Chains A and B, each alone.
Chain A
């Protein structure tokens, strides 16, 4: 079993829709990361969180440490949000352990 499970794997939405991507993990963590990977491959760190909720623009990330679950929400989605969203948790060496990603496609 993977340590980090994401759902859904693929998601297609219409512009303006509210989007939720889920992440479950199986080990204790100090922090969880949400990353965005664009088609060219570059990765941008969206959030690092260890409890509660963080908001940045139209993006909201929540985490429930007891349930080992995190969600990434996108409000008023836009085609430019189309990317792969990756959940990652910290490994023992400070490295990250990645989920397989959720490919989001937002149609105009």
Chain B
């Protein structure tokens, strides 16, 4: 399958600082990237959907000014958590899909390894 990387894998920061998480598709062009968040013992929840070259679509309850998403190229999307607070501590994971990989009307998704954010 296709490979998606995330960086960093783990980050600890102080409250009030901003953290940028990168998601890269290494061997395919990702027209769509999804950002998910997972709190301990919870299922993954979609935060936003980003299509290359356009503004991200945020889920209800996700602050777009706090979680800045940029998908400027077909291989890179970034999530910036601005003015991070301890309640933002979570596991953030991205997935990517591309039309070249479509096996049916449904695009298969490939997941990054995730980023564990701890805000002190």
A interface, over-half SS: loop
Number of interface residues of A (CB under 8 A): 24
Q: Report whether B43 and A48 are in contact in the complex, using a CB–CB cutoff of 8 Å.
A: no
With a CB–CB cut-off of 8 A, which chain B residues contact A50? 104, 106
Q: Report whether B116 and A31 are in contact in the complex, using a CB–CB cutoff of 8 Å.
A: no
A61 to chain B, nearest CB (A): 14
Asked if A76 is at the interface of the complex by the 8 Å CB criterion, the answer is no
With a CB–CB cut-off of 8 A, which chain A residues contact B113? 40-42
With a CB–CB cut-off of 8 A, which chain A residues contact B108? 45, 48
Please, how many angstroms separate the alpha-carbon atoms of A100 and B32 in the complex? 24
* Residues 57-94 of B contacting A (Cβ, < 8 Å): 57, 91, 93
**A41 with B34: in contact, given A30-B104, A48-B108, A94-B49 (CB under 8 Å)?**
no
With a CB–CB cut-off of 8 A, which chain B residues contact A42? 111, 113-114
Q: Could you say which interface size class chain B belongs to?
A: 20 to 34
Nearest-CB residue, chain A, relative to B31: A94
Nearest-CB residue, chain B, relative to A100: B43
Asked if A86 is at the interface of the complex by the 8 Å CB criterion, the answer is yes
Please, how many angstroms separate the alpha-carbon atoms of A101 and B91 in the complex? 16
Q: Report whether A95 and B106 are in contact in the complex, using a CB–CB cutoff of 8 Å.
A: no
* Residues 86-120 of B contacting A (Cβ, < 8 Å): 91, 93, 95, 97, 103-111, 113-114, 116
Q: Report whether A48 and B32 are in contact in the complex, using a CB–CB cutoff of 8 Å.
A: no
A40 to chain B, nearest CB (A): 8
Please, how many angstroms separate the alpha-carbon atoms of A48 and B108 in the complex? 7
Q: Report whether B103 and A94 are in contact in the complex, using a CB–CB cutoff of 8 Å.
A: no
**A91 with B46: in contact, given A41-B91, A44-B111 (CB under 8 Å)?**
yes
Asked if A98 is at the interface of the complex by the 8 Å CB criterion, the answer is yes
**A41-B91, A94-B34 known; 13 other A-B pairs, CB under 8 Å?**
A31-B104, A35-B111, A41-B38, A41-B113, A41-B116, A42-B111, A45-B110, A86-B44, A91-B46, A95-B46, A96-B46, A98-B43, A99-B43
Q: Which 3 residue pairs are nearest across A and B when measured between Cβ atoms?
A: A43-B111, A42-B113, A41-B114
